[in-house]
Structure 1
Amino acid sequence: MFKVLLVEDEEMIRKGLRFTFDWMGADCVVVGEAENGEEGLRQIAALQPDIVIVDVNMPLMDGIAMIEQSVEGASCSYIILSGYDEFRLAKAAIRLGVTEYLLKPLEQEQLLAALERAKSQVEMKRQYAALKTSESGSGEARQASVVKLPGKSSRYVTKMLQYVQEHYAEKISIKDLVEKLEVSATYLNQKFKSETTYTFNDFLNRYRIQKAMELLQRSDGKVYAIAADVGFKDYKYFIAIFKKYAGCTPSYYQETYGHGTKEEHDANG
């Protein structure tokens, strides 16, 4: 289960989150609470939570400041809560790699969806931790995987997987396969999801991100060029999808696991 820390100065909201949300159903457990950022930092150090849900506006230390001070040493993912729809705060949250920025009053469905994204990010961070401590014989870190190929697949799904592997750098969609395989898009989507657990578009994005990670690890090329090389023509969309599956920005991944210098990666953005 994933350990969750609640950092919220309003006791009613904090207790409401703790006792009214189905944490077990979300494969989570609340391991602690804090009512301000300073206490939150202490709890993060002591409890080592996987996910921190933190309010923006709190006494002594606000949520953004708390994340800024903890993000370097912590391996957790953050979900920000705020009663204020302020672009400045959202921008700061994005800069810090926050998983989600949610506005109060909070809907249960919103929190559940945010927790799913946070859990995915936690899993990727765990893989990064393994990458740092486990190296191959050549001295290069092993590649983290964001996509898994099925061991066995039907004829249709095999063709779909092959098509993605051969054409991922191009503009493609499941519609391209309808005429080739002479079956409906609905049937192909259902067949693909049942055998791979992914939708076709999700698999395509994951496969492209996997290829981008490989290029970022072994190349000092510009990030926007690598995005285009793996099929993303919209650079901002590439950044968003990369962060969704990898849990960090492409430039951070390249800086951490690539062969270039920090200055080169900073220049890449």
Structure 2
Amino acid sequence: MFKVLLVEDEEMIRKGLRFTFDWMGAGCVVVGEAENGEDGLRQIAELRPDIVIVDVNMPLLDGIGMIEQSVEEADCSYIILSGYDEFRLAKDAIRLGVTEYLLKPLEQEQLLAALERAKGQLAMKRQYSAVLTSGAANGEALQASVVKLPGKSSRYVSRMIRYVQEHYAEKIGIKDLVESLGVSATYLNQKFKSETTYTFNDFLNRYRIQKAMDLLRSGEDKVYAIAADVGYKDYKYFIAIFKKYAGCTPSYYQERYGLGQNSGEAAGDSHTKQAD
């Protein structure tokens, strides 16, 4: 069972989440509640939850501030709740490696999907820690955990996977496939998720990060150049996505596993491990 902490200042929403959602069915158990960010920090330290579901706007300390203060020490994944579709908050959430940014009112299916992604992120973080602890000589074990191709897939999904493999370095999206395949984006996403367990965008990010790992391990290119080579024109966004899936910064990964032992670090990246 994954331990969940709820951090929400509105009691009705907090209690509603706790008592109306099927936590057992999701493989989770709620171990505590907090009504502000300061109480949330205290309970994170005491309860050591696996997943923290946190509201953005709270008294004393807001959700983003709470995550900033806890992210270095806590071994957990975060799911943000907000009543506002604010791009600034979404960018902050990405920067901090938050698993999901959900808008209220929250639907059961949305929360269930977010919990599954949070559990997947936790598994990757912990596998990465095991790789470091065991002193593995290379990053193959970690790399294998980033993306897995299905053994068999339908015609639609096979085309989608092949499209990613051929065009991952370009600016692409599921809408690029709608016209050529003659079906809706909603249908394609549902079909892709059912056969691969990933959404199309999640798979695209995972595939790009796996390619980035290959380049970081085998070459001596600068990290910002590798980011562009795998389809990320925004260097800082690449770092955030790499940290989300790999559990560390690109330059740390390159230092640890690169053949040339060169960091390729650019401004704004860090040598230190970020997510364990």
Fold in common (TM above 0.5): yes
Quick check: 1:3–1:30 contact (8 Å CA) kept in 2? yes
Quick check: 1:6–1:52 contact (8 Å CA) kept in 2? yes
What is the DSSP-based 3-state SS (H/G/I as helix, E as strand, rest coil) of the residue aligned with 1:84? coil
CA apart distance, 1:222 = 3.0
1:247 to 215, 219, 244: 244
1:201/1:90 Cα in 2 relative to 1: closer, same or farther (>3 Å)? Answer: closer
Q: Any idea what the Cα deviations from partners look like across 1:49-73, whole Å, max 9, x if unmatched?
A: 1110011122222111111110011
1:100-139 matches, cutoff 5 A: 100-136=100-136, 139=137
Which amino acid in 1 is paired with 2:86? E
1:261/1:71 Cα in 2 relative to 1: closer, same or farther (>3 Å)? Answer: farther
CA apart distance, 1:106 = 1.5
Quick check: 1:124–1:247 contact (8 Å CA) kept in 2? no
Unpaired segments ≥5 residues, structure 2: 173-180, 256-260, 271-276
What is the DSSP-based 3-state SS (H/G/I as helix, E as strand, rest coil) of the residue aligned with 1:72? coil
CA apart distance, 1:16 = 0.4
Deviates more, 1:34-43 or 1:111-120: 111-120
How many angstroms apart in 2 are the aligned matches of 1:111 and 1:195?
Answer: 20
Does 2:73 align with 1:73?
A: yes
Aligned to 1:179: none
CA apart distance, 1:2 = 1.9
- In the comparison of the two structures, how many residue pairs are matched? 249
What is the DSSP-based 3-state SS (H/G/I as helix, E as strand, rest coil) of the residue aligned with 2:114? helix
How many angstroms apart in 2 are the aligned matches of 1:75 and 1:117?
Answer: 15
1:44/1:218 Cα in 2 relative to 1: closer, same or farther (>3 Å)? Answer: farther
Aligned to 1:13: 13
1:249-264 matches, cutoff 5 A: 252-259=248-255, 264=265
Q: Which has the higher contact order (CA 8 A, sep 6+)?
A: 2
Quick check: 1:135–1:142 contact (8 Å CA) kept in 2? no
What is the DSSP-based 3-state SS (H/G/I as helix, E as strand, rest coil) of the residue aligned with 1:26? coil
Structure showing greater Rg = 1
How many angstroms apart in 2 are the aligned matches of 1:7 and 1:135?
Answer: 37
Aligned to 2:94: 94
Tell me the TM-score normalised to structure 1 length: 0.71
How many angstroms apart in 2 are the aligned matches of 1:212 and 1:103?
Answer: 31
How many angstroms apart in 1 are the aligned matches of 2:88 and 2:108?
Answer: 25
1:185/1:129 Cα in 2 relative to 1: closer, same or farther (>3 Å)? Answer: farther
Aligned to 2:55: 55
Unpaired segments ≥5 residues, structure 1: 173-183
Quick check: 1:217–1:254 contact (8 Å CA) kept in 2? no
How many angstroms apart in 2 are the aligned matches of 1:86 and 1:153?
Answer: 40
How many angstroms apart in 1 are the aligned matches of 2:193 and 2:98?
Answer: 29
Aligned to 2:176: none
How many angstroms apart in 2 are the aligned matches of 1:59 and 1:169?
Answer: 43
How many angstroms apart in 1 are the aligned matches of 2:254 and 2:199?
Answer: 30
CA apart distance, 1:133 = 0.9
1:206/1:70 Cα in 2 relative to 1: closer, same or farther (>3 Å)? Answer: closer
Which amino acid in 1 is paired with 2:135? E
Does 2:6 align with 1:2?
A: no
1:235 to 228, 233, 250: 233
CA apart distance, 1:268 = 6.7
Quick check: 1:79–1:118 contact (8 Å CA) kept in 2? yes
CA apart distance, 1:229 = 4.1
Quick check: 2:79–2:102 contact (8 Å CA) kept in 1? yes
1:216/1:267 Cα in 2 relative to 1: closer, same or farther (>3 Å)? Answer: farther
Aligned to 1:266: 267
Which amino acid in 1 is paired with 2:233? Y
What is the DSSP-based 3-state SS (H/G/I as helix, E as strand, rest coil) of the residue aligned with 2:29? strand
Q: Any idea what the Cα deviations from partners look like across 1:130-181, whole Å, max 9, x if unmatched?
A: 1221223xx445541223467x779x9xx99xx7999677779xxxxxxxxx
Aligned to 1:181: none
1:221/1:61 Cα in 2 relative to 1: closer, same or farther (>3 Å)? Answer: same
What is the DSSP-based 3-state SS (H/G/I as helix, E as strand, rest coil) of the residue aligned with 1:258? helix
1:109/1:204 Cα in 2 relative to 1: closer, same or farther (>3 Å)? Answer: closer
Quick check: 1:34–1:43 contact (8 Å CA) kept in 2? yes
Aligned to 2:226: 226
How many angstroms apart in 2 are the aligned matches of 1:213 and 1:85?
Answer: 33
Q: Any idea what the Cα deviations from partners look like across 1:180-234, whole Å, max 9, x if unmatched?
A: xxxx999xx9xx999877799976764443232232245452334324545x3x5
